[in-house]
Structure 1
Amino acid sequence: MVGAPHSSKPDVDNLAKAFMDASKTEDSHVYSLQAGKYWAEAGSIELEAQR
């Protein structure tokens, strides 16, 4: 199932909110956010920043 979409809880919007709350970035500086949940061997959050 690694790489397949993950549709169980927690909801993706809750994961995005938790990540934003934990980051040191001011929320108002973020103008675009794309989030997805996929099965993996171990839990993680991957971030790709673009300027």
Structure 2
Amino acid sequence: MKPPSTQLLFVLGAACGLAIGVLFGMIIGNLALGMPTGAMLALVFAFRLSGLDKSEP
């Protein structure tokens, strides 16, 4: 079984980050604060899941 592609993991991480940001915004009652938080989380999750944050020689 081959590992999932980097693009798929990147998209999955981005979607998870945005979903968490929207949920956070709904919980605190301020989507204007939740969306930027979600965007930052999306980038972090996407790079970590896809493995693009590792520097390879």
TM range (shorter): 0.3 to 0.5
**Greater relative contact order, per chain length (Cα 8 Å cut-off, separation 6+):** 1
- TM-score normalised by structure 2 residue count: 0.32
- Determine which structure has the larger helix proportion and give its number: 2
- TM-score normalised by structure 1 residue count: 0.33
Structure number, greater radius of gyration: 2
